[in-house]
Structure formats: C-alpha cells, structure tokens
A = this chain, B = another copy of it.
C-alpha cells in the first residue's frame, strides 16, 4: 500500500510508514498545539519530495500563514507546487454576499476542480470549525458523511485541521468526525511538574494501519518535527 509520509522524524515508523494514500485524516488539538504547523509541514515536505499540495485556509490569511511557516524553517514556499487558497481573504472582501452563498458547495466544487485540473495529490483544510461557520449544517452527520465521501473520492490524501476547545475533556471533534475519518492524529499539551507543559502527538486511529497508540513527545528541531522517544513494540 502506498503511504504519504508525515516527515515527522521517528513517527512514520509508528504508523506503518505513513498515512495510507487516499485517507481523510483529522489533525486535532486545542489552541496552541501546532495543528496548522503539523498539517502544513506534512504538505510542505511531501511537495519537496515531488507531490502537489493545496492548503485551504479558512481563517488565517495567506501572508500570515506563509510567514509563520517560514519562521519554522519552511523556505521557498512561493516557488513550490504548494498552493495556499486564502478563503479568509475572499470572505473579508465579500462579507455582504456571504450569507447568500452555499460556501460548503463552493469549497467542494473548488477542490474538485483544482484536484482534477492541477493534479493536487495532497489537500489540507484549516479548519473544520472555520468551514462550519460558513454554513449552518442541518443534519451534520449526513452532510459530513457526504463531504467525507467526496474527499475520499478524490485522487488525493486529505488532512483536516480540527480545533478542540480547551477544557472539553477528551472529545476529538465537534460532530464526531473522528468516526467518519480514516485517521486521527491528536496533539495534546500535558502538564509536566508544577509549571511545565509538554506537547505530545498520538495516533488515535489509522485505518489499514497497524499503529502504536501511545503518546509521543513532539518537538521541532532544525526545521523538522520529530518525536523524542523510541516507538515501542
């Protein structure tokens, strides 16, 4: 089975070599857990290795996102096959028309066309909550079933950034998208002693993959994410 590497050093081994091609994967975490950075870096590193990526930003604008990624050491984005769609800009420029449009449809059709025409094989949507704020979902579970079905029908692997409110126990998503997704990567902050905290990465679910379920401390060193403990078993 073909797999998309996360390029998080040490982690691909924990998930059988990477994310199976064609999967729809949630990247979950509360604010400040580097969800965007992790999702973007997966696309960035794969594009460097020959893929074509489409990053759809719903709430952060193009320049801020690009700047933030460059700060983390991801250089040369403008010369790569990594296209950032700034929906946030479109929204701010068309605030008044916003209510009249079915944005979920627009985004869906846009993705469909771009993947077909431009041969993107990696898509990221940042974030699901941003997407939901565009349209009121009448029957979330049914509409999301079709949206996930659409994503799975693409000839691409998809990463969905999913924001978990702080203090929301261990829920992983707003509408139980974790049931519908093929994989779930969870980023979580843990208290260490009285005053320190530590970021950890866990693969909660990955269909078609024999994966470790434990927590891995995650750091970024020399422009690379890496986990800092050996994969067990």
Contact = CB atoms under 8 A, between A and B. Distances in A.
Interface of A: 1, 31-32, 59-61, 64, 67-68, 71-72, 88, 91-92, 95, 98, 127, 129-130, 132-134, 136, 139, 141-142, 145-146, 149, 152-153, 163, 165-172, 176, 178-180, 182, 184, 189, 194-197, 199-200, 202-210, 213-217, 220, 229, 232
A38 B140 CA distance: 28
A107 to B, nearest CB: 15
Contacts of A217: 195
A82 B140 CA distance: 32
Indicate the member of A32, A141, A189, A204 with the most B CB atoms within 10 Å: A32
14 contacts: A1-B71, A32-B205, A59-B179, A61-B152, A68-B207, A68-B208, A71-B210, A92-B149, A133-B142, A165-B178, A167-B169, A167-B170, A195-B216, A197-B215
A59 B145 contact: yes
A184 B146 contact: no
B92 A146 contact: yes
Given A133-B142, A196-B215, 17 more contacts: A1-B71, A31-B172, A31-B205, A32-B184, A32-B204, A32-B206, A32-B213, A59-B145, A59-B180, A64-B182, A67-B208, A163-B176, A167-B169, A195-B214, A195-B216, A197-B213, A197-B214
B95 A204 contact: no
Contact of A146 (B95, B172, B208): B95
A196 B214 CA distance: 4
B127 A207 contact: no
Contacts of A178: 31, 165-166
Contacts of A163: 176, 179
Contacts of A189: 213
B153 A141 contact: no
Contacts of A145: 59, 88, 91, 130, 133
B166 A172 contact: yes
